[in-house]
Amino acid sequence: MNDTIELKILRYPKLAKCSSCSRVRDIYYKALIYDVDDKKSIVGDLDLCKLCGENIHRGQGGDAGGPTEVIKSFNFGMQK
């Protein structure tokens, strides 16, 4: 993956204009653009719809489903 662009999934999608395709859609992703020299300073960001976010993720070498991360799995079974 490219270390100057970090793709984040938004917890709650919002209706706005996509920075890539310029269509008003639900925004699912935010791409953070880091400085090339120090890799720590954010120099900009992009709001991306689901289609554009998944395309950028695949373009960076990710899988087809977009960036995913499982925090924890829960068992809601009854306990005695």
Residue 3's pLDDT band (boundaries 50, 70, 90)?
A: confident
Of 29-33, 43-47, 74-78, the range with the lowest mean pLDDT is: 74-78
Which three-class secondary structure state does DSSP give residue 53? helix
Q: Indicate the average pLDDT of the chain.
A: 83
What predicted TM-score, i.e. pTM, was given to this entire model? 0.71
Q: Rounded to an integer, what distance in angstroms lies between the CA atom of residue 44 and that of residue 35? A: 9
Predicted pLDDT of residue 71: 44
Average pLDDT of the residues in 3-32: 93
Average pLDDT of the residues in 51-77: 70
CB 7 within 8 A of CB 56: yes
